A and B are shown apart, each in its own frame.
Chain A
């Protein structure tokens, strides 16, 4: 049973639409992360949060935004989707370094 959930699993959407990718975890982890990954390529950190009301931009510049109103919830929003946003988005959470990150199953976004 997954402890971190991402929805939707797949999404095809038209250019200009607003979308929100959901990520929720049940482990009580303070730290949460969003990565963007093209197929077969490396992971790029785009956002992270160390707790409620804390959000930071990652290494890769992204037009997306995030919020952290509750510990368990870390949604990512694109106000106006473009074809360049087509990618996989992976959410992760972390309690202690010993166990590393727990990843969600990812959202594969296609913008047409």
Chain B
């Protein structure tokens, strides 16, 4: 069974600095996808970034990048140049391509300090 672990319940970062949110996963399936979602206090889930298990390069989307270390089964999210609007819950998720169902980590609450 797949499992997602986010070990940081809460993180603080100074505005304009970079921050890394940790995520490790466990799966026996060689084909899978890794995702990060942002959930602001309003409650909606916003898709940020995707990494496929066969992708050779780390995914990047604007200020978001995914530090994918396949052998260590980690998929950390890096947010560069943090902004006050980045304060939110962040969820790591994985789906195995054979069934497409997604499993979520417990989340990390990021607070950006001015």
Binding site for B on A (CB under 8 A): 31, 40-43, 48, 88, 90, 92, 94, 96-106, 108
Determine whether the beta carbon of B97 is less than 8 Å from that of A97.
Answer: yes
Q: State whether the Cβ of B44 lies closer than 8 Å to any Cβ in chain A.
A: yes
A102→B46 CA distance, assembly (Å): 8
The answer, among B89, B93, B106, for a CB contact under 8 Å with A100, is B93
Residue of A nearest to B103 (CB): A45
Determine whether the beta carbon of A100 is less than 8 Å from that of B44.
Answer: no
Residue of B nearest to A100 (CB): B35
A104→B96 CA distance, assembly (Å): 22
Q: Which of B27-78 contact A (CB under 8 A)?
A: 33, 35, 37, 42-45, 47, 50, 52
Determine whether the beta carbon of B95 is less than 8 Å from that of A42.
Answer: no
Determine whether the beta carbon of B93 is less than 8 Å from that of A42.
Answer: no
Determine whether the beta carbon of A103 is less than 8 Å from that of B104.
Answer: no
Determine whether the beta carbon of B43 is less than 8 Å from that of A100.
Answer: no
Determine whether the beta carbon of A31 is less than 8 Å from that of B100.
Answer: yes
